[in-house]
Amino acid sequence: MASHRKWSPTGTRIAGIRTPALATAALTSVALLSQTANAAPSADSKPSIEEVEKKVDDLYHQAEAATEKYNATREKTAQQRKRVDSLLDDVAQRTEKLNTAREELGSFAAAQYRTGASAPDTATLLLADNPQDYFDQTQLMDRLTSRQKVAVDDYITEQAATTKKRAEASQSLQTLTTTQSALKTSKADVQHKLAEARDLLSKLTAEEKARLAAIEKKKQEAADRKAAELAQQQAAAEKKAQEAAAQQQSTSATTGTTGSSATDSSYTAKADKALAFARAQIGKPYVWGATGPGSYDCSGLTQAAWKAAGVDLPRTTWDQVNAGTTVPLSDIKPGDLVFFYDDISHVGLYIGNGMMIHAPKPGAYVREESIFYGGESIIHSVVRPA
């Protein structure tokens, strides 16, 4: 912050010459303006490439989180729509039954009118808001024939059931309207984040884009080194495991006991199918909200891959993270799901050697990449889904 001096009305000296007070004030103002101009960035100043890179990454991360929210809301909307359709079908069927019961009562009323019999006022019954109250007030039930009683009972039952179902359908329609509005909001949020990221990137010069690519390459090289380290650690652990398994086999042959090799073999077989499916999707574009077959978002890809192995995963990362057994990173196996960020907004399918197949972000394609692509700190958890 620029320093400020108290102005002296008696003037000051510059190079041994006393200056008038007004001249001194003018000189001071010029100095302050100069210092302010040097200290404050101009309105036209551009962020550094590092700042752009971080901002774009943050926006893509936010867009993925918004995408998972969109996925969850869309799934809820679909379920609510099915419920509304089911309720409306039920209301239609019950209304038909109610009309049939009303017609039967009407036939009794017509017959009574033709014969002139002193009979229950079924015509008034049909117009009553609450038939049961009507019966209670007139003691009509005591004067009905057995056939009429059956018809009246049917009418009362169907009217009550239809009224209840109509109320349920009305409430479900209101809920559907609410979820559809939330779906629209989630979609707009994703689009806004992506538009902001594209706008930042569009303003870069060719030189700046080259520098940004160099930053990304450096990050990728670091991630690949970290993946290689994990692969070495796992190879050493696998060697020990094989030695232990051989020892256990020898012990089992002596004692007649069996280990968990059958379980491991079953998981490996399923994982192989999931990985084969995921590999076949490499090169297809990331599209938020997509579940295939032409494009995927991150959780859409993992869901489809494991479905090919006969395992049904939930739609969103937030639910997939709970659809299996959590294992430490050191015990990760091919087929495991790797979740990222504190908000669990991204997921990939581990393929071994520190690598995964995932749908990275908008503008990118399904690809193999190190699970350390954003650093080890963003890895949230590892889950074995079957």
* Section 25-51 average pLDDT: 55
Amino acid code (one letter) for 68: E
Provide the pLDDT for residue 34.
46
- Tell whether the model's pLDDT for residue 258 goes beyond 90: no
Rounded Cα distance between 73 and 363, Å, is 23
- 259 versus 184: the higher-pLDDT residue is 184
- Whether the CB-CB separation of 296 and 290 falls below 8 Å is answered with yes
* Section 81-86 average pLDDT: 91
Rounded Cα distance between 237 and 369, Å, is 22
- Is-catalytic flag, 358? yes
State the catalytic residue, choosing from 4, 61, 358, 380.
Answer: 358
Token pair recorded at residue 166: 């109509």
- Tell whether the model's pLDDT for residue 256 goes beyond 70: no
Please tell me the class of the 264-385 domain: alpha beta
- Tell whether the model's pLDDT for residue 33 goes beyond 60: no
Instruction: Tell me the sheet residues that pair with 358.
Output: 367
User: Could you state, in order of their start, the residue ranges of all structural domains in the chain?
Assistant: 49-203, 264-385
CA distances from 191 to 64, 73, 194, 195, 340 (A): 11, 16, 5, 6, 22
What H or E segment, with its residue span, contains residue 216? helix 206-255
SS3 74: helix
CATH architecture of 49-203: Orthogonal Bundle (1.10)
- Tell whether the model's pLDDT for residue 347 goes beyond 90: yes
Q: What is the pLDDT of residues 260-282, one digit of tens each?
A: 566 678 999 999 999 999 999 99
Going by C-alpha positions, the residue among 375, 328, 356 that lies closest to residue 233 is 328
Provide the pLDDT for residue 264.
79
Rounded Cα distance between 70 and 92, Å, is 32
Provide the pLDDT for residue 31.
45
Count of H-run helices and E-run strands, the chain: 9, 8
Rounded Cα distance between 22 and 67, Å, is 63
- Tell whether the model's pLDDT for residue 184 goes beyond 90: yes
Provide the pLDDT for residue 9.
38
State the catalytic residue, choosing from 4, 192, 346, 380.
Answer: 346
State the catalytic residue, choosing from 4, 61, 192, 298.
Answer: 298
- Whether the CB-CB separation of 364 and 282 falls below 8 Å is answered with no
Strands 325-327 and 379-384: antiparallel
Q: Tally Cβ neighbours within 10 Å of residue 176.
A: 18
What mean pLDDT is reported for the chain? 81
- Tell whether the model's pLDDT for residue 128 goes beyond 80: no
Q: Do domains 49-203 and 264-385 have the same CATH topology?
A: no
**Percent of the chain scored above 90 by pLDDT?**
56
- Is-catalytic flag, 298? yes
Token pair recorded at residue 289: 């909200």
153, HSE (Cβ side, Cα atoms, 13 Å): 8
